[in-house]
Amino acid sequence: MSPASFRRRFRRIAWWAAAACFALAHCRCGSAQAVDLAAIRTAGAKLQPLAAAKRPAGPSDWLANHRESGQTFDHYRATDPNRPTRQLTTIYIQPLGAFSAAEQKLLDRAAELLRVFYRLPVKSLEPIALAELPARARRKQPSVGNEQILTTYVLNELLPARRPRDAVALLALTAVDLWPGEGWNFVFGQGALRERVGVYSLARYGDPAEDDAAYQLALRRTLKVACHETGHMLGIVHCTASECGMNGSNTIDELDRNQLGFCPACEQKVWWACHLDPRQRYAGLIEFARANQLADELRLWEASSRLLIAK
């Protein structure tokens, strides 16, 4: 199958990278919704001074290689996205394969941030051993020889069969490299907008056990992808208007240049999707950023909190 036909076949799947939400008892109609929307728009307007226009894409960057038109808050709501309900209450993490102690620490921090970022319960499922995967879902990368897992098997077969009934999102995490099928060398990760499943790999984030700097770099990469992929699972598409955690990343360099925090428009999508109080959320995010030495994120979330409190 050619890469082009492969892409057409899976057009509903949001690619994260190519090779080379909590008051769940709200009903979704009526006056309560209208009041929520007005409050969200007012809070979003307060954050507008923090919006930074998207920098022009370099030749290797995502937007130079993918035609995308972005998504306003209103466009997002009009898609009736997957989001928390009375039935879909929890984000699940599915470990896939083995993890070193340092890699496990990255997973634990990612689960913590997801809990604070989307203000949802986050639970980890029992790990799945690589030996449980069929031979057709594993390979040695043809040119380099490293082990890889087939993302389409994980997304289309493995995860849907194991998805808990109350899962608003199920994220498989692995330290093994990934590939999405014929014609591709690898992907960093992949999520399905409607199916509520995603998979991503830590394999290309560097060795977090090497030293403190390497750990911090791998941590930021892991946290960025965890928030970004979960955003996809809630129907948020790539942001093209502003510097934002929902910007596409074509390379690890671009991922490093992209920010972790979301822009004001994408923040409104999270608040609305997850029925959450933004001020409580920023208090949690600030605490997380302090505890994990995330200076850029601490600045953004402290500024957001100040603007929301201001009259």
CB of 279 to Zn ion, least distance (A): 20
| Residue from 10, 16, 62, 301 in contact with Zn ion (CB under 5 A) | 16
CB of 143 to Zn ion, least distance (A): 25
| Residue from 168, 171, 192, 266 in contact with Zn ion (CB under 5 A) | 266
Q: Which CB, 19 or 102, lies closer to Zn ion? A: 19
| Residue from 246, 260, 274, 300 in contact with Zn ion (CB under 5 A) | 246
CB of 44 to Zn ion, least distance (A): 11
Encode burial over 87-120: b for 16+ CB neighbours within 10 A, e otherwise: ebbbbbbbbbbebeebbebbbebbbbbbbbbbbb
Quick check: 244 binds Zn ion (CB under 5 A)?
A: yes
Amino acid (one-letter) located at 63: L
Quick one: which H or E segment has residue 90? strand 90-96
Amino acid (one-letter) located at 117: F
**Residues 24, 25, 26, 32: what is their CA dihedral angle, to the nearest 10 degrees?**
-130
Is there a catalytic annotation at residue 147? no
CA-to-CA dists, residue 235 to 27, 159, 160, angstroms: 19, 18, 17
E strands within 142-292? 147-150, 167-174, 177-179, 189-192, 197-201
Here's the x/- map for Zn ion, 222-241, by CB under 5 A: it reads as -----------------x--
Stretch that binds Zn ion, among 67-75, 94-102, 104-112, 266-274 (CB under 5 A): 266-274
Instruction: Indicate which residue of 103, 229, 243, 267 is catalytic.
Output: 229
Contacting residues toward Zn ion, per CB under 5 A: 16, 239, 244, 246, 263, 266
Active site positions, annotated: 229
